[in-house]
Structure formats: C-alpha cells, structure tokens
Structure 1
Amino acid sequence: MLKQLYIRNFTLIDTLDIHFNPGFSVITGETGAGKSIILGAINLLLGQRADVKSIKSNSSKCVIEAHFDISRYNMQDFFTENNIDFDDTDCILRRELNSSGKTRSFINDTPVALNLMRTLGQQLIDIHSQHQNLLLNEEDFQLNVVDIIAKDRELLIKYKEHFNAYKDAKKAVDRLCKEIEENKKNEDYIRFQLKELTEAELKDGMQEELERESEKLSHVEEIKTALYSAGTSLNSYESDNNVLDKVKEASRSIIGITSIYPEISSISDRLESCFIELKDISDEINSEADNIEFDPSRLEQINSQLDKIYSLEQKYHVSNIADLINIQNNLEKQISNIDNSDEELDKLKSEEARLLKECEAIASKLTEIRTKASKVIEQEMRNRLIPLGIPNVRFSIKIENKNISEDGHDRISFLFSANTSTPVQPVAQVASGGEIARVMLSLKAMISGAVKLPTIIFDEIDTGVSGKIAEKMGDIMQEMGKANRQVISITHLPQIAAKGTTHYKVFKEETEHGTSSRMLILSKDERTKEIAQMLSGSEISDAAINNAKELLKTL
C-alpha cells in the first residue's frame, strides 16, 4: 500500500508531501491542475524514462520518493536476492534527476539499477490510464487475463522450461543443417586441403629437427675441418705437439716422486683423470670426424621437405607445424561431420521431435485449464457488465489453435456485443469508449484479487460514462478497496468522487515564484463543496450542495 508520496521540483510542483490511506480514495481537480504531473512522478518510480525538462525551472534536481507498506505481500525474497535491506512496513522507492540528465534510483536507500526498481515498482502499483484501454486489442493482454484466472502459473513455468529446451534443440538442428550445407559446398576443397596436409606427414618438432639436420649437412666441410684440427691437437703423430703424450709424461713424472713427496699425490690423481678424459674426448672427436659425411641427396630431400612445410605455413597463415596439425585435425572433423552428418542430424531431429511432443502435451493441458477459466470469465464479465448499463451484453472468449510458441498454442480473443442483434466481434473493434472503460474496469476488478497488487490507480477510467453507470463503477472500485487493497481513482465525475473514503484535490496556485501545483486532503465540508462544484460548475448553488450531501450519504 502506498503510504506517502514526496515530490520536489518536478514540473509545476515545488514540494508535495502527501499521505495516503487504505481503501478507496479519489483525486479530483480541474483539467490542467496537475493530476497528470503526479501520475508522471509515480511513473518515474516505476522505471519510466526521465526527461530533464521535468525538473522545475531554476532547480538543479528533482526528487520523487514513495513509502509503501508491503507487510501483507510476502516480498522478502526479492530484497534478500538483491541484497537490499528489508522493512515491510516502510519500503522506500526514490528517484533523483539532475539537470545534467543523470538519474539515480534507490530502494531503501540502496542504489539500484533502474530495471530493478521497475521490477519492484510493477509489483507495488498498477496504473491504469486511458491508453491502457488499447490493451484490449492485444492478444498477450487477453491471454494474461485468462492465465491469471486459470491460476496456471506453475504449469506455465514448466511449459516454458520445456519450450526453451525445444527451442535449443531446434537451433541445434538448424545449426547442423547449415554446417552440413556449407561443408558440402566446400567438400572437394576441404578434402584437397586434408590430402595436402596428410601427405606432408607432419609431426610435432619435425620442422626444428629438419632445420638442424639441414644446417649440419650444409656445413659438413667446416665441421670436419674443426674436428680434424681438434683431434690433431690432442693426439698428433709429432711428439712435440701431442697433448696426450705430454699429459701422460707429466703424470709419470709426478708419480715418480709421490713416495718421497706424498703431498703431491692428489695432483698425480688429477693428472691421471685428465689424461683419461682427454683420451675419451680425442676418441669421440675422431669417431665424429669419421661418421660425418656430405650427403647431397639427403640435403636435397631435407630442403625439399622444409620447402613444403614453409609453403604450407604461408598458405595457411601460420608459423609452425603445431598450427598446421591443428588445421589438419579440424579438416578431419569437418570430413567426419560430412561423412556422419546424416546420423548426427537424425539424432538431433529425434531429440527435437521428443521435446516438441512434450511441449504439445503440456500446451494441451494449458488449453484445457484456460478453456475452463474462460467459461468462468465469461460469466463473471456478464455479471459485472449488466449492472454497468449493458443489459444485453454478450461477452465470450474465443480460443484458437496457433503454432506452438513460448506461451502455448492458444490464440485468445475477447469477443463482445452490447446488443442482441449484433454478432460478437473483437471487443476493441466494436465497443464504444464508454463500453471499453466498463469492460476494462470489470476485468481489473476480476483479476485484482488474483494478482493481489497492493495499489491500483485508475486514471479517468470513467471516460464516456455518467449518471447511474458512473455510480456503479464507483461501487466496483469501492468494493475493490475493501478487499485489503488500496484503490485510487482520478476522476471528473461526482458520482465516483463521492464513493471514496478519502478525497484529495489537486489545484494550481500563483506564488511569488510562479504557478505551482498542490494537492490536499479535503475535510468533510471541503469535500461537499468540491462535489457540489463538480455537479454545478463554478457557481455552487444550494441545490448542488444538497445533491453533494446526498451523494456522500451513500458511503
């Protein structure tokens, strides 16, 4: 329930701080007094787009804040899920708009994204304005009404889960079909590429190994010369240059004195080790020199393989064999998909068909429940519309089959006729403005109990009606307000204004800062005068006062 509304620096409003009561309240005021401004401010709390022009002239910021009592509506989960402080007796929504165009949104003083405020706001207030009568022409609205009365929410959630799975399966089939089509278009080229890469017999590390071998074979003479020179230095046939003989000779000399000079024995051991190591090195050098030979045919073969690898890398825009192997693997998968595509496609189509069958089964249950609910709605609407001055009303709901979609396979149409001689047709096409207003009020009254919105605001829903019909519409809103619900009606009709338990008036006044809109709660006497003025115009007669008092007695 809306407890308090605070508005500052919004269009013509300097400051407005007004408290609201439970039950049925009415708001009256002359055209242009500012009723739509107040609604516009509330709409900002419901996530509507903000316009910097809404800020009052010469002000840098406007603020709209509303306090709600949500203690009857079990909303704690929303606050817990979004990490927002919870106070069920004082839930605060605030929106600020700066002259720079920047807006900020708060729930219980916690900054939030606008879409989160919109989500909460739509659970707190339903504003029915005149343009919402156009909803009668929208299939989604009509289907939603039926679903509310059918109380099929759990089944609808289950259906949507299955439908989403079916959509995913269908997308998988479509995606594979597209891939198959594209692959078949390119099959010859893919096979050519795969053959080219397969024949190259690519292996990890192959390129580096071939490059090393090519480098070695290209410098055989240089390598043999270096090895020969090193080997000759170590073990020359000329005794003066033989390093090994000299080390051996030095070792013998040291060994000869170890018995009389034991301190030198360690050097003797080291010399012996050096001789052994140098002898091994000499033998290995000689062996390497004998083994390495220039093989021009092998070098040509290696360079040919490398040229092929380099050419493939350039062709496929990669820099190493690993990337070429990845491309080869992908090509193999594509060929495998082409060769096995029919089997995979049959499997996916089978899954798609299974999920579609499940969706259709649940959709059929939805149709059954909606059909039963439609009969209830038809009778309820007749019961409500006859007292509202349409004695010969016929209201029926047509349910047609449509392609399966996210809400089932039912196409809903509300059909209406106000006369026995006129066939029923879509309500938005045949009902007058006044009749549409009565149809919408009846629908709202019927579904409001199921939806359990804390606050419902009717913005001139009485357009096109008057007299006894207006009084009956007032009775309906009064009845709605008694069912633990807050109903607020903005009206120009005294018959409806007299039904409210609380009466607010919106008016303009001139101040030293210019024109300003204000809103007040009327006392009993002020209310009598206001209703009398609505009855007779600017000149309030005694008869109008008496009529106003009579209307107020109906409370």
Structure 2
Amino acid sequence: MLAALAIRDIVLIDRLEIDFARGLTVLTGETGAGKSILLDSLSLALGGRGDGALVRQGANQGQVTAVFDVPAGHPARSLLGDNSIDHDGDIILRRVQTGDGRTRAFVNDQPVSVALLRDVGASLVEIHGQHDDRALVDPAIHRRLLDAFGGLDPEALAVAEAFRGWRSAESEVAALRRRIASARSEGDYLRASVEELSKLAPQPGEETELAQRRHTMMQAEKVAVDLSEAHDTIAGHTSPIPNLASLARRLERKRDQAGGLLDGVVEAIDSAIDALEEAETLLARSIRESEFDPKELERTEERLFALRGAARKHDVAVENLAALRDKMVADLAALDSGEERLAALEAAAEAACRRFDALAAALSARRRAVAEELEARVAEELPALKLERAAFIVSIETDAEERTDAGIDIVNFFVRTNPGTRPGPMMKVASGGELSRFLLAIKVALADRGSAPTLVFDEIDTGVGGAVAEAIGRRLARLAERVQVLSVTHAPQVAARAGHHLRIAKDGVAGEDRVATGVTPLDGEERREEIARMLAGSVITDAARAAAHQLIHGNG
C-alpha cells in the first residue's frame, strides 16, 4: 500500500507530506484547489511522463517521493531483486523533475531508468480516471485479468512453459538445418581440409615450441665457430697450459733462493692454469651441446612453416587449427548423420507443439467458461451504476495457428452502452464517466484478483449524483476491504463512505503574492463540515450539516 507521499516544488506545492492508511481514502476540495496536482505528482513518482512545467515557478527543480509498505513475495520485490536493487523494508520511489524537462529516477535511493521505475510503479499502483484508463485498452491486460479472475494463472504458466519448450525445440531444428545446408555446400572442401589437418595433426603450443627450437638452433650455429676457436686457443697445439705448468715448476724450485721474491707468483700461475683447464672443460661441453644435425633445423622449419601455411590458408591462428579441424569433423558428421538427428529433433519439436496445443486448447476452453462468469458478475454491478441498459462482453478470438506464450486467445473487454448497438472497445464506445464506472464494476467483480495493492480513482463520480453516487461509494468501500483505494471525488455520498478524508485547498503564502496547495486530514466535525460544503456549496446551511451527518452515520 501507499504509506506516504512527499512533494516538493511541484506546481502550487511548496513542501507537502501526506501519510496514507489502508481502506478507502477520499480527497476532496473545490475545483482548482490542486487535487490533480497530487495525482500528477504521484504519477511522476510512478514513472509517468515528466514535464518541466510541473516545477513550481521560482524553483529549479521539483521532487516527489512515494513510500510503499509492500508484503514479502510481492512482484515488485522480485523485480527489484532481478535488477540488483535492495528491496528489504519499504520500497521508496523518487523522481526529480528539473525545469528544463529532464528527470532522474531512484528506487530505494539507487539511480534507475525511468522504464524500471515505471514497471515497479505499475506493480504497486493503478490510476484510473475518465481520460486515462490504459488498462481498458491493452488486450494483454484483459487476458491477465480474466486469468486472475478464474484462477487460471497455473494453467497460463504451464502454457507459457510449453510455448518456450516448443520454440526452443524449433530453434534446435532450424540450427541443425542450417548446419546441414552449409555442410552440403562445402562437403568436398570439408573432407579435403579434414584430411589435410588430420595429417598435419597440430598440437596445442606446438608453434611456440617449434619457433623457440628453431631460434636456439640458429643462434647455436652462429656461436659454434667462436666456441671452437676459443677451445683451440686454450687446448690446441698452441695452448699456453703446458708452458705455464713448466714455468711454474721451475719457479717453484728456485723459490728458496729468491728470498721471498717469488712469494705468491707460483700460486697465481697455478690458479691461472686451473682457470684455463676449467674454461677448456666448459668450452668442450658447450661445443657438444651446440652441435646439431642440420637436418633437424630443416625438419623444424618445415614443420613450423607447414603449420603457419595451413593457418593462413584457413584464416585462423595456428593455435586454432586443432579446433577448426574438430569443427569441420562435426560439420561432416552433421552432414553424414544429420538427417537422422534432424528427424529426431523434428519429432521432438512436433511433440512439443502438440503438448502446447493441448494445453493452450484446454486453457482457451477454461477462459471461455470463466468469461461467462465474469460477464455475469459485472452485469450484476451495472444497474446500480446507472448502466442498466449497458452490457459487458468478454470477447475471445481464438486462432490455433497464432501461438504465443499466452496461448492462442486474444481477449478484449467490450461494452455495449445501449441495446441494439454494436459492442466495441470501452475506450471507443463509452463516455468518460461511463468508462470509469465500467472499470469500477470490473474491479469489484474481480475483487482483489489481478489488481495492484493500491487503486486510485480520479473523479469517477463525475456527472452522476444521488443513488448512483451512493452506489459508487458503496462499491469503493467494498473494494477497499481488499486493497487500498484512493478516490478524488466531488460526490458527498462517496466521501461519506471513506474511512479517511483529506481536504485539498489553496491558501495564500504569508508575505508573498502567491498561493500554495495544502492538504488537511479531516475527522469529526471538520469532516461533517466538508461534506456539508459538498452538498450545499459555498453557503453551508444547517440542513446541509444535518444531511452530511446522516450520510456519515447512516453509512456506519
């Protein structure tokens, strides 16, 4: 239910906060007091069309915040969860309207698109007026209302699931047909390519390994000459090692005679000999390791170039050659065994279609039976609403070849306002006042099934009075036993039925040459006085007060 509405700088409203309660709440006031401003503000918060003209003169922007107390499991919470928006506690919708026409939307203080705000708002509130009853236009809404009235939602869900299963099966058939057609047109090419790639047998990571091996062998070839020359210098016939060893021994024998002159010299020569011998060993090992069969380099290059050539030919990376071969094998398999699999998929799709058709036909039959019951329920409400000569017709057009996730039916709510006339869509046939009363009759017949938790009726009592207004009030009160109902009304008979009464009025702003719209909750004497004003006009008489008292307490 709508728990609170906060409005700031919208048209004639400076700052306004309204708390709402369950049951029936009426909003009354003189013409031009600002009742429509409240509804425009609520509509803005629910994702309705923005307009820079809504911003109060002198302000840069306006803002409307609507707070909803929503039970767990309500579709609005699921919608928020699906969009990763916190949905614990109250649901708070906020819309900021700037003077240049731009708007910003928020749900629970998180920025959202206006489309999401509109979807959430539509699940929480329905606004019905003489000139704005979109619910009366959309056949999809008519179908959902009929299903809700008849308790057909489980059957409708089963039909939707069967439809998705059938469409999925059809998609598989179409995809396999495309693969078979493609494989047929390229059969020879595929077979030759599979044979080629199978012989080539590319392996994951092979290109990188081959390129590294080739690089290593080519570098080894370049340094082999220098390694051999260095080894020959150290270990060949010109090696300094024998001469250094001979000199070291001679100097060793003369050390005692040199008087310390040779201290450390022999050791240094021995260290040099050791270093040269170590270098000889390392050079010999490097030479052995750098030796390779030139044919190995040739084989490596041939393999690498073959892989890269195949990749260029098939316009893929070398790493993807194996995957390409697997795909081609699968395409050939689809060509070779595709007809058998296609037949199996087609049979599955036909079975899914038959299942959908059976469920849709059963649902269609149930809808027709429920339609008669709904027509009878609505017909019971029409006479008291001054629609005694009118008729409500649930039109169901069935086309078994036009399959949708909702079944095979197009549901329309038609009306006939006078005997002998052709039934037609409510928006085309009924007048403004008749539209709203038809809607009220439908809502009462539906009870709370298929409705948002808050219903708003804008002046549905226009053009009627007396017993008809009394009947409207009674039905609004009955409806309010199951959902929250807000009604903008000029009818005292409707106002007297309310559990809560808000008066809308314009008053001058202190110290400024302008007026502002305000809202006052009424109770007791104030409520009686307001209903008396609605009865008598600007001059309230004792008789009007007595009549107001009778209306209020006669409804108790």
TM-score category of the 2 structures, normalised to the smaller one:
0.7 to 0.9
> Residue 527 of structure 2 corresponds to which residue in structure 1?
523
Give, in whole Å, the separation in 2 of the partners of 1:323 and 1:143: 52
Equivalent position SS for 1:387: helix
| 1:364 maps to amino acid | A
The CA deviation at 1:147 is 0.9
The CA deviation at 1:524 is 1.4
* Pick aligned residue for 1:490 from 488, 495, 504: 488
Aligned pairs for 1:356-435 (under 5 A) are 356-402=353-399, 403-422=402-421, 424-435=423-434
Contact 1:214 1:303 in 2 (8 A): no
Contact 2:456 2:487 in 1 (8 A): yes
Give, in whole Å, the separation in 2 of the partners of 1:44 and 1:328: 59
> Residue 251 of structure 2 corresponds to which residue in structure 1?
none
Contact 1:56 1:62 in 2 (8 A): yes
The CA deviation at 1:30 is 4.0
Aligned pairs for 1:144-183 (under 5 A) are 144-183=144-183
Alignment of 1:86 onto 2:89: yes
Equivalent position SS for 1:396: strand
| 1:359 maps to amino acid | F
Contact 2:8 2:14 in 1 (8 A): yes
> Residue 470 of structure 2 corresponds to which residue in structure 1?
471
Equivalent position SS for 1:470: helix
Range moving further from structure 2, 182-191 or 333-342: 182-191
Cα deviation per residue 1:300-327 (whole Å; 9 max; x = unaligned)? Answer: 8887666554444444555x64333433
Cα deviation per residue 1:339-377 (whole Å; 9 max; x = unaligned)? Answer: 333233333333333333333333334334323322221
User: Are the structure 2 counterparts of residues 513 and 193 from structure 1 closer, same or farther at C-alpha, using a change threshold of 3 Å?
Assistant: farther
Alignment of 1:343 onto 2:340: yes
Contact 1:227 1:286 in 2 (8 A): no
> Residue 143 of structure 1 corresponds to which residue in structure 2?
143
The CA deviation at 1:13 is 0.2
Aligned pairs for 1:238-253 (under 5 A) are none
The CA deviation at 1:189 is 4.8
Equivalent position SS for 1:449: coil
The CA deviation at 1:513 is 5.1
| 1:492 maps to amino acid | H
The CA deviation at 1:116 is 7.0
| 2:436 maps to amino acid | A
Give, in whole Å, the separation in 1 of the partners of 2:103 and 2:436: 38
Give, in whole Å, the separation in 2 of the partners of 1:76 and 1:415: 28
The CA deviation at 1:17 is 3.1
Aligned pairs for 1:161-310 (under 5 A) are 161-187=161-187, 189-191=189-191, 193-194=193-194, 197-198=197-198, 202=202, 204=206, 207-208=210-211, 211=214, 215=218, 308-310=306-308
| 1:508 maps to amino acid | K
User: Are the structure 2 counterparts of residues 85 and 412 from structure 1 closer, same or farther at C-alpha, using a change threshold of 3 Å?
Assistant: closer
5+ long unaligned stretches in structure 1: 251-270
Give, in whole Å, the separation in 2 of the partners of 1:367 and 1:307: 67
Give, in whole Å, the separation in 2 of the partners of 1:499 and 1:85: 34
User: Are the structure 2 counterparts of residues 235 and 174 from structure 1 closer, same or farther at C-alpha, using a change threshold of 3 Å?
Assistant: same
Give, in whole Å, the separation in 1 of the partners of 2:165 and 2:424: 37
Cα deviation per residue 1:188-241 (whole Å; 9 max; x = unaligned)? Answer: 555555455456565535854994799599x6xx899789878977987x7xx5
Give, in whole Å, the separation in 2 of the partners of 1:307 and 1:125: 70
User: Are the structure 2 counterparts of residues 190 and 31 from structure 1 closer, same or farther at C-alpha, using a change threshold of 3 Å?
Assistant: farther
> Residue 265 of structure 1 corresponds to which residue in structure 2?
none
Cα deviation per residue 1:238-285 (whole Å; 9 max; x = unaligned)? Answer: 7xx5899999999xxxxxxxxxxxxxxxxxxxx99x99x989998998
Alignment of 1:458 onto 2:457: yes
Contact 1:532 1:548 in 2 (8 A): no
Alignment of 1:45 onto 2:45: yes
Contact 1:8 1:62 in 2 (8 A): yes
> Residue 506 of structure 1 corresponds to which residue in structure 2?
504
Give, in whole Å, the separation in 2 of the partners of 1:450 and 1:230: 98
The CA deviation at 1:187 is 4.6
User: Are the structure 2 counterparts of residues 249 and 325 from structure 1 closer, same or farther at C-alpha, using a change threshold of 3 Å?
Assistant: farther
5+ long unaligned stretches in structure 2: 248-272
Give, in whole Å, the separation in 2 of the partners of 1:323 and 1:487: 65
The CA deviation at 1:384 is 0.9
Contact 2:34 2:504 in 1 (8 A): yes
The CA deviation at 1:127 is 1.8
Contact 1:234 1:282 in 2 (8 A): no
| Sequence identity percentage | 26
Give, in whole Å, the separation in 2 of the partners of 1:346 and 1:421: 56
User: Are the structure 2 counterparts of residues 149 and 163 from structure 1 closer, same or farther at C-alpha, using a change threshold of 3 Å?
Assistant: same
Contact 1:65 1:93 in 2 (8 A): yes
> Residue 263 of structure 1 corresponds to which residue in structure 2?
none
The CA deviation at 1:447 is 2.0
Give, in whole Å, the separation in 1 of the partners of 2:146 and 2:366: 9
| 2:455 maps to amino acid | I
Contact 1:97 1:104 in 2 (8 A): no
Contact 1:244 1:279 in 2 (8 A): no
Contact 1:26 1:497 in 2 (8 A): yes
Contact 1:503 1:527 in 2 (8 A): no
